Structure 1
Amino acid sequence: MAETTFWRQGPTVGRQTGAQVMDAQRFEELRPLLFSISYRILGSVGEAEDAVQETWLRYAGTDTEPESLKAYLSTVVSRISIDVLRSARVRREAYVGPWFPEPLPTDTLQTQPYAEPADSAELADSVSMAALLLLERLSPLERAVFVLREVFDFGFAEIAETIERSEPAARQLAARARRHMRDGRPRFEVDRRKRLDLADRFFDALREGNLEALQGLLAADVETVNDAGGKGGGEGGRFGAERAARILVATVPPLLASGASLEPREFNGWPGAILRDSEGKVVGTWVLDILDGHIQAIRSITNPDKLSHLGPTGDVRAMTAERSRWRRRAREATEQEDD
């Protein structure tokens, strides 16, 4: 009999009977849904993976056959995620600098662990950085209710059982969550093709160091924000388009010249890129917020703890030190030519 691995970081579950293998197959079919629920509640890829793995262990350890496997597993993963979120809130309050959700690859290069259970605009919008940051304003219960009801269309009876509250209480939580989300919802460019086209022009201009082109693509009050977790990289700020363009030209092209690379990718349904060092290791991600033909915000993450699911991580401080050495060599070469 074959051994089966159920999660990319999960255990290999010994020799199995035919019924157990069937259970594993049914679980695997629902895994994208379970991960999608948990990630939206937690905003963390690693924690969502752990929640799904714990869900499998609880399912494998029970002798009870649920009437609806989907409802049972969704309830379990939601309860686990709510508990994790409650403890995570304490850690996030002490987090150094801006906090962003862990970047989730959503382009054609994505791998199976992060696949969505269905392809729809509603699902894509609900996993955007902007939406996940709005969800941070909700209590753990409000967040879970909003995700289950508004994103995955669960009935209130199912939701009430999941959160162990009455159905009227679940409805009240949903109403509060909708109000908070509606009041803070940002505007964004709906046309995905337009977003991708503008992002391509932005990264082309950035590689070329084209100051004028960059300035024309940035909103007048563009914001650049970096989640470094105190482990390398500044926090950014809100700049005028001209200043932001000058900062980008002064920092990124020298990085690329010194061996780093920008790999266009889509994260959380929005265009962005992976920044890699000269060895190809991941040192950061970018996500672009786009509206009315301009980039409104550039959200970057350089905290290595939030990037390990994308591959081996590098040291952003070492990369910037290499950029400084490249600048010094370039300056010395220019001075020699002038002599």
Structure 2
Amino acid sequence: MSKVEEFEELRSLLFSIAYRMLGSVSEAEDAVQDTWLRFDASATRPASTKAFLSATVTRICIDVLRSARVRREEYVGPWFPEPLLTDPYQDPARAAELADSVSTAALLLLERLSPLERSVFVLREVFGFGFDDIAAAVGRSEAACRQLLVRARRHMRDGRPRFEADQRERQELATRFFDALREGDVLGLRDLLAADVSMAGDGGGKAPQLARAVVGADNVARLLASVYPRMARIDITFAPYEINGRPGAVFRDRDGRVLHTLVLDMLDGRIQTIRAVINPDKLRHLGPVADAWALTREVKQVRG
């Protein structure tokens, strides 16, 4: 088998590792491409191509994470991962587990970890790598990697919600939510929201966004019911998608350009968190991006 064929067989795994490490589709794709360049330039064939490529992409991601710390500290407003519509790494036996590991909530928890903790957690807990391969990837002893995993598990466990809806319940709630959203049904929306629901948007200072998170079922329902019918009147549409393993939607302008994404997290049978990604830099992998500023001005001119 040629190098190209070996690499292509593992490309989806490498991307899935990199995305969970970085929370960015574009940066994950760059990391995979850099991994290929290093593999192609290597003079000898490794004993295990999978181990070599996984270690290489992990090291590249660690370097990116270390350089990204300052950028994310200076980020304008909330930082959310880039929306992922499809995780290319398929393992039917572990589909639910893989979907959970790529959820927005899980990726935000991973942001709390150091680059080394994050690497060890992703390689071990998500993809089941042995500690020998993990140690080689991160440049630490197996004993040190076990300690890093203990710390990472504790941070992840402490931040997880006590109960998440199963896939069927999530889909049923999402269907009712988006039906109510289309109709501008404030009472219908409120009935689906947790009392302490929060809604926030990631515009990164490059698109209109909420000045702060909107909290509370009444506040969120009224805001949604007032804004989205106006958006529909200027031909903004949305289509349901699974985004980061959770129910969501992609909103587009009249020309089909991407305006933003919306993702729902559920807890105890209610919608707990609503997150929108509006930053155009985080939407370009989904297609041509709309002018959010111009559309916002149009929406404001529409009478309720």
Q: Which TM-score bucket, shorter chain as reference? A: over 0.9
Aligned length: 301
Matched, 1:276 2:252: yes
How far does the alpha carbon of each residue in 1:286-322 deviate from its partner, in whole angstroms, 9 at most, with x for none? 0001122211010111000000011110111111112
Matched, 1:154 2:129: yes
8 Å Cα contact 1:219/1:296 also seen in 2: yes
Matched, 1:132 2:112: no
**1:198 corresponding residue in structure 2:** 173
**1:309 corresponding residue in structure 2:** 285
Distance 1:291 1:190 in 2: 6
How far does the alpha carbon of each residue in 1:46-85 deviate from its partner, in whole angstroms, 9 at most, with x for none? 0000000000111111111111110010000000011011
Structure having greater relative contact order (Cα 8 Å, sep ≥ 6): 2
63, 78, 95: which is aligned to 2:58?
78
- Report the alpha carbon displacement of residue 90 of structure 1 after superposing the two structures with TM: 1.2
277, 294, 298: which is aligned to 1:322?
298
Distance 2:296 2:100 in 1: 34
**1:69 corresponding residue in structure 2:** 49
How far does the alpha carbon of each residue in 1:17-61 deviate from its partner, in whole angstroms, 9 at most, with x for none? xx6xx2211211111100010111111100000000000111111
Distance 2:186 2:142 in 1: 56
252, 259, 262: which is aligned to 2:228?
252
8 Å Cα contact 2:165/2:269 also seen in 1: no
Distance 1:263 1:321 in 2: 23
Distance 1:155 1:84 in 2: 24
SS in 1 for 2:107: helix
8 Å Cα contact 2:161/2:267 also seen in 1: no
Distance 1:247 1:259 in 2: 19
Distance 1:229 1:187 in 2: 30
SS in 1 for 2:213: strand
**1:115 corresponding residue in structure 2:** 88
Distance 1:178 1:301 in 2: 28
**1:87 corresponding residue in structure 2:** 67
Distance 1:117 1:79 in 2: 23
Moved more, 315-324 or 79-88: 315-324
Question: RMSD of aligned C-alpha atoms?
Answer: 1.3
**1:11 corresponding residue in structure 2:** none
**2:192 corresponding residue in structure 1:** 217
265, 276, 286: which is aligned to 2:262?
286
Distance 1:326 1:90 in 2: 40
Distance 1:161 1:115 in 2: 25
SS in 1 for 2:302: helix
Matched, 1:36 2:36: no
The code of the aligned residue for 1:199 comes to A
8 Å Cα contact 2:209/2:278 also seen in 1: no
**1:4 corresponding residue in structure 2:** none
Distance 1:245 1:164 in 2: 50
8 Å Cα contact 2:207/2:280 also seen in 1: no
The code of the aligned residue for 2:162 comes to R
TM-score scaled by structure 1? 0.86
Distance 1:69 1:117 in 2: 19
Please list every run of 5 or more consecutive structure 2 residues that lacks an aligned counterpart in the other structure.
Answer: none
Distance 1:94 1:27 in 2: 36
SS in 1 for 2:81: coil
SS in 2 for 1:65: coil
Distance 1:160 1:313 in 2: 41
Please list every run of 5 or more consecutive structure 1 residues that lacks an aligned counterpart in the other structure.
Answer: 1-18, 107-113, 332-339
8 Å Cα contact 2:165/2:266 also seen in 1: no
The code of the aligned residue for 2:115 comes to P
- Report the alpha carbon displacement of residue 188 of structure 1 after superposing the two structures with TM: 4.4
- Report the alpha carbon displacement of residue 278 of structure 1 after superposing the two structures with TM: 1.7
